[in-house]
Amino acid sequence: MTISNKIKWSFLIAFSLGSFTVKANVGERCLNRNQPHDSYSQKISAYVSLPGLREFLKPVPENQITISSAEYKSSNLVDLQESPSCQEMSGFGFALTESTVLNMNSLEPRLRTDAMKALFDTTIGAGFNYLIVPLTSTDFNDPKLGDFSVCDCKEGENTKSGCFNPSRLAPTLQVLKQAQTLNPQLQLMLKPWTAPPHMKSLGSVKQANPYFGGSYDSAWTPSYSKCLAQSVRYFEKNGFKVKSIAVQNEPGLDLPYPSTYMNDDDHAALLNKLSDHLRAQGSKVQLIVRADNFIAAPGVQNVLRKLKPQEIRPAFAAHCYSNDPQTPKMLTKNGNGRFCSTKKNHELEYLMGECTASAQPDYNGDFNWWMENRVLGDIDLGATAVLAWNGLLDENYGPKNHGCPQCRGLLSVDQVAGTHEILRNPEFYALAHLSHYVQPGASRLILDNGQLAFKNPNGSVVILIKNNAGESRVYSFLTNGCRTVNIKVPAWSTMTVKLPADG
């Protein structure tokens, strides 16, 4: 899995949002309501990244942000209160693969603490809150341990009644508990990469390893759905919020690493049966209709048509590896180009469910690619979450299990002069520009100037500004409290600004 055809720098978000015109009466609600701003400016926090200089999330000097009276006729002024709200954000994160867990547990205490805080700490780290937890082997686990599924049956167990064996998840559970201590808002997506070998059609497995490839045998749907529901209950009993569950990773593929081909009819039937079990056990969990590449959009529609009505809106967890990322627009009811994904106007939620960078990092190019495509681009398309692939890989891009040869983690174990350090890769910083500041449940605001903004549940507002110009620019925002915040953004930089709730 590699990223190809990187888009050249160009801020396309304004165009994909459509053409907006600032109304002439912007700020009229604030007539004769100019507010004192001496103490307010001290409550604003802002951080800037200049990837060309390899400077990331640096505190912004006070003189780059000024507060003034409402400028009613400013053509650059954006009224935050009048900006329409859009999708509700779930969060940001990555896949807690077995390789990530093994790497984390192999670090000396100092580095382990550094890595865990970098990923999860809500004060000094990225504050990632949404993790994919594999229920089986993936292409990133330790081959020495062999392949597995939590639905494997032990010797002597009745395979027809369904089996659940979570023993291999014990190290993952340990890391999750530590992550939850750093970020109490942690939530999980559960997902298998392969069905157990005994649930695959006889003769369909072409690989020497029965976990690699093969076709799902729908005769096992009653017992398999029961096992997947037990997985949800297992994590719930251990104190975790299970936000969502998929029944198969990339179900249209039969690959030489943990995978299973599952046709749309069998996929829908398995989701429906799982839904029955979840409802019976009182688990309110979102169903992932498909966790797959953009090219799988037709399959998403096929499964969605066969899905029973759900209390929680189902989702498409897209992977970034093939086809046009505009595909989510095909999944809207009205098919318009402005994908404002809300419960009222879309029957399907969209999230970026997996993406990875590869090989040695290009801090300037990779940061900008992730910021423009995975952060600005996906959220513009209506994504409620943006999730990367591995969290932490070693200096050899592993451990690997016959999968991507040079996939990179958000963090890397970097060996320098015989010692190890934790390297924060450019995509880590791109996601952290929002993950640290945007709370779960935040509403995305559509701004007239094409930038991104979010209103958190506590009332604070987070603004993400990307200046692709070769000179600094000033962006002005009118707050709910009738203060104009003027933000000077350096050339070729990205800035996150957090405005307090009492603005």
Residues 269 and 365 placed together within one structural domain of the fold: yes
Report the DSSP pairing between strands 55-59 and 45-50.
antiparallel
Does 193 map to a domain?
A: yes
Q: Sign of the C-alpha dihedral, residues 283, 284, 289, 293?
A: negative
- Window from 82-86, 91-95, 190-194 with minimum mean pLDDT: 82-86
Token readout for 45 is 């926090």
Residues 262 and 153 placed together within one structural domain of the fold: yes
Does 472 map to a domain?
A: yes
Residues 240 and 331 placed together within one structural domain of the fold: yes
Token readout for 281 is 């056990």
Q: What is the pLDDT of residue 345?
A: 57
How many angstroms separate the first and last alpha carbons of the chain?
A: 45
Q: What is the pLDDT of residue 13?
A: 25
Q: Sign of the C-alpha dihedral, residues 161, 167, 168, 171?
A: positive
Q: pLDDT digits over 50-70, tens only? A: 999 999 999 998 888 888 765
Q: Report the pLDDT averaged over residues 180-190.
A: 98
Q: Which of 98, 67, 82, 63 shows the shortest CA–CA distance to 23? A: 82
**pLDDT above 50 for 1:** no
For 377, the domain range is 90-439
For residue 174, count other CB atoms closer than 10 A to its CB: 13
Token readout for 441 is 């449940």
Residue 288 sits in a domain whose CATH number is: 3.20.20.80
Q: Report the pLDDT averaged over residues 195-202.
A: 90
Q: What is the pLDDT of residue 344?
A: 60
Does 4 map to a domain?
A: no
Angle, alpha carbons 380-406-177 (nearest 5°)? 70
Residues 409 and 467 placed together within one structural domain of the fold: no
Strands (E), 425-471: 443-446, 452-455, 461-467
Residues 96 and 162 placed together within one structural domain of the fold: yes
Q: Which amino acid is at 381?
A: L
Give the residue from 395, 415, 439 where a domain finishes: 439
- 90 with 382: CB under 8 angstroms? no
Residues in the chain: 503
Q: What is the pLDDT of residue 62?
A: 82
SS3 (DSSP) at 62 = helix
Q: Report the pLDDT averaged over residues 233-259.
A: 96
Residues 434 and 454 placed together within one structural domain of the fold: no
Does 5 map to a domain?
A: no
Residues 210 and 292 placed together within one structural domain of the fold: yes
Core vs surface per residue 432-467: b (16+ CB within 10 A) or e: bbbbbbbbbebbbbbbbbbbbbbbbeeebbbbbbbb
SS3 (DSSP) at 92 = strand
Q: What is the pLDDT of residue 339?
A: 57
Token readout for 23 is 């109304």
Residues 373 and 427 placed together within one structural domain of the fold: yes
Q: What is the pLDDT of residue 27?
A: 55
> Which of 13-22, 159-168, 203-212, 405-414 is predicted most confidently?
405-414
Residues 79 and 118 placed together within one structural domain of the fold: no
Which ranges in 74-212 belong to alpha helices (H)? 98-106, 109-120, 170-182
Confidence of residue 337 (pLDDT cuts 50, 70, 90): very low
Peptide bond into 399 cis (omega under 30): yes
Residues 380 and 476 placed together within one structural domain of the fold: no
Token readout for 400 is 């690997």
Q: What is the pLDDT of residue 151?
A: 96
**446 vs 86: CA distance, rounded Å:** 7
- Provide CB contacts within 8 A for 232, sequence distance 6+: 190, 242, 245, 278, 281, 283, 285
Residue 477 sits in a domain whose CATH number is: 2.60.40.1180
Does 8 map to a domain?
A: no
Q: pLDDT digits over 13-49, tens only? A: 222 222 223 333 555 677 666 555 567 777 899 999 9
Q: Which of 113, 103, 139 shows the shortest CA–CA distance to 395? A: 103
Report the DSSP pairing between strands 187-191 and 315-319.
unpaired
User: Tokens 């780290």 belong to which residue?
Assistant: 125
Q: Report the pLDDT averaged over residues 435-439.
A: 97
Domain count of the chain?
2
Half-sphere exposure of 115 (CA within 13 A, CB side): 29
DSSP assigned state of 249: B
**pLDDT above 90 for 236:** yes
Average pLDDT in the chain: 86
Residues 38 and 144 placed together within one structural domain of the fold: no
Residues 75 and 160 placed together within one structural domain of the fold: no
Q: Which of 351, 343, 230 shows the shortest CA–CA distance to 283? A: 230
Give the residue from 439, 459, 483 where a domain finishes: 439
**pLDDT above 60 for 237:** yes
Angle, alpha carbons 348-353-356 (nearest 5°)? 155
Confidence of residue 336 (pLDDT cuts 50, 70, 90): very low
Confidence of residue 443 (pLDDT cuts 50, 70, 90): very high
Does 173 map to a domain?
A: yes
Q: Which amino acid is at 8?
A: K
- Window from 182-186, 291-295, 334-338, 345-349 with minimum mean pLDDT: 334-338
* Structure-model confidence comparison of residues 159 and 150, the more confident one: 150
Give the residue from 391, 422, 439 where a domain finishes: 439
* Structure-model confidence comparison of residues 83 and 432, the more confident one: 432
Q: What is the pLDDT of residue 7?
A: 28
**280 vs 406: CA distance, rounded Å:** 43
SS3 (DSSP) at 269 = helix
- 3-state secondary structure string, 194-236? CCCHHHECCCCCCCCCCCECCEECHHHHHHHHHHHHHHHHHHH
Q: What is the pLDDT of residue 154?
A: 78
Does 458 map to a domain?
A: yes
Q: pLDDT digits over 96-122, tens only? A: 999 999 999 999 999 999 999 999 999
DSSP assigned state of 51: G
Does 371 map to a domain?
A: yes
**pLDDT above 70 for 329:** no
- Provide CB contacts within 8 A for 422, sequence distance 6+: 107, 111, 114, 115, 118, 392, 411, 412, 413, 414
**pLDDT above 50 for 6:** no
Strands laid side by side in the 473-478 sheet: 65-68, 484-489, 473-478, 77-79
* Structure-model confidence comparison of residues 329 and 361, the more confident one: 361
**329 vs 336: CA distance, rounded Å:** 7
**pLDDT above 70 for 382:** yes
Long-range CB pairs of 395-398, under 8 A, 24+ apart, other chains included: 398/99, 398/140
Helix (H) or strand (E) holding 430: helix 426-435
Q: Report the pLDDT averaged over residues 356-361.
A: 90
